[in-house]
Amino acid sequence: MTQKVTLYRIFVASPSDVKDERETLEEIINELNLSALTRINIRVELLKWETHVNPGIGDYPQQVINEDIGKNYDIFLGILWSKFGTPTNDFNSGTEEEFYTAYGLHQKNPETIKIMIYFKTAAVPFDKIDTNSIDSIRRFKDDLKKKNVLFWEYTTIEELQSLLRIQLSRQILELNDKSTNKTQNDKSPVIVEPTEDEFGVLDYLGFGEECFLTVQEILGRITTAMNWMSKRFIEKTQEIQIQSKINPQISTSLKKHLIDSTANDMEIFVKRVEVEIPLFADTFKKGIENFSSGLKISMELKADKKEDIIGAIDSFEEAKTAMIGAKTAFCTFRDTIINFPNITQTFNRAKRLAYSALDKIIKEYDIAINLTDALLSEFKEYQNKY
């Protein structure tokens, strides 16, 4: 059966150092094309120079890309990390030229093109550091701020995937709502006959809440482990002080025994939390994806009962506040551990392991807080729009 399908094109612009991110975009686009967007006859196409540019000759290489890609896209998606790209005739890089082309189109008609920019904040390998590129990226960021272009930061590819799953659907649906080709029928509520195994808004919200409850339990166990470790530190310190008072000539071997006992406690702490870290990351990611899916369906169908969605905002705010507080506590504990003097080989090793484990927890908190901010932004936008 022939159907009229609305096609939205996403043009990705980036230097070569984010090759993995460019590849993972294919997965995100495929997911969108298998999502509920198909029920309202929307399809998404990814435009990349690797797949949409033919060999050719121009005054400079970027001109060939410009001519083949053209201006026939609906969303400009820029990704930057450590490289700014190769200079063109008029700009500091091809990516910068592509952005300003898109920005010019947006200025002429904001309702027909969206701009999404992402910056990777992961550490750059020492041998890959290009100070000129870093300076150019910093200036580019400053220029985006002056132009009121909102950008988002991410650390891992998995985090970028989650951000795109959260944010891309709304951009596409907003473009669809504002399309000049929409008919009155298009504006009417979409009636969908659910299949036997199809999940709905409340299903996804329920799954998300279950995941977040599990996340709270995991965080509770991590916090308990940290409090146990802190208590053991205090007890061992007091024991050393007592032994020193009882016997001012306390032997080095006894001191070493007490210190190494503390090291053993630290290694127990590390083993406890290293089991929890991947559980936290995976469960939180699933929770975010379920909440995002529920919001996506509600936006697509323009559901009337917003309270089913909006009630989640307070929960996200509370979760974010709790995570920020916990992160602060873990940062303090991590800094306390690393500032301990190097006393014995065993203690030094345990200290290093504990610092590494705490650093992993803090990084996962940063990712979780960033994703919560992104989802909160989408839910609030939904609240204001629908």
User: Is residue 195 a part of any domain in this protein?
Assistant: no
| Domain match, 275 and 358 both | yes
Give yes or no for residue 195 having a pLDDT over 50.
Answer: no
Count CB-CB contacts under 10 A for residue 271.
12
| Domain match, 169 and 224 both | no
Specify whether the CB–CB gap between 205 and 291 falls below 8 A: yes
Instruction: Give how many domains the chain has, as a whole number.
Output: 2
Residue 196, judged by CB atoms within 10 A of its CB (0-12, 13-18, 19+), counts as exposed
Reported as a pLDDT band with limits 50, 70 and 90, residue 305 is low
Contacts of 110 (CB under 8 A, 6+ apart): none
User: Is residue 12 a part of any domain in this protein?
Assistant: yes
Please give the residue range of the domain that contains residue 80: 6-186
Block residue for tokens 């006393």: 343
Reported as a pLDDT band with limits 50, 70 and 90, residue 62 is low
User: Is residue 292 a part of any domain in this protein?
Assistant: yes
CATH of the domain at 377: 1.10.357
Which residue type occupies 339?
N
| Domain match, 208 and 347 both | yes
| Domain match, 180 and 237 both | no
CATH of the domain at 137: 3.40.50
| Domain match, 179 and 209 both | no
Domain boundary among 155, 186, 217: 186
| Domain match, 78 and 223 both | no
Give yes or no for residue 312 having a pLDDT over 90.
Answer: no
| Domain match, 277 and 174 both | no
- Three-class SS of residue 137? helix
Each residue's pLDDT tens digit, 159-171: 999 999 888 888 8
User: Is residue 99 a part of any domain in this protein?
Assistant: yes
Phi, psi of 105 (to 5 degrees): -65, -40
Domain boundary among 126, 153, 186: 186
User: Is residue 138 a part of any domain in this protein?
Assistant: yes
| Domain match, 175 and 250 both | no
User: Is residue 320 a part of any domain in this protein?
Assistant: yes
User: Is residue 74 a part of any domain in this protein?
Assistant: yes
Across residues 355-383, what is the average pLDDT?
A: 89
| Domain match, 263 and 329 both | yes
| Domain match, 223 and 346 both | yes
| Residues linked to residue 116 through DSSP beta bridges, in sequence order | 77
Contacts of 157 (CB under 8 A, 6+ apart): 20, 21, 24
Structure confidence at residue 189 (pLDDT) = 42
User: Is residue 371 a part of any domain in this protein?
Assistant: yes
Structure confidence at residue 186 (pLDDT) = 44
Across residues 236-254, what is the average pLDDT?
A: 77
User: What is the distance between the alpha carbons of residues 78 and 164, in angstroms, rounded to a whole number?
Assistant: 12
The alpha helices in the chain, defined as continuous H runs, are 19-33, 49-52, 61-69, 94-108, 131-146, 157-178, 184-187, 201-246, 252-301, 307-338, 345-385
Task: Name the pairing type of β-strands 42-47 and 75-80.
Answer: unpaired
| Domain match, 176 and 209 both | no
Going from the C-alpha of 376 to that of each of 17, 152, 215, 240, 289, the distances in angstroms are 30, 14, 18, 49, 13
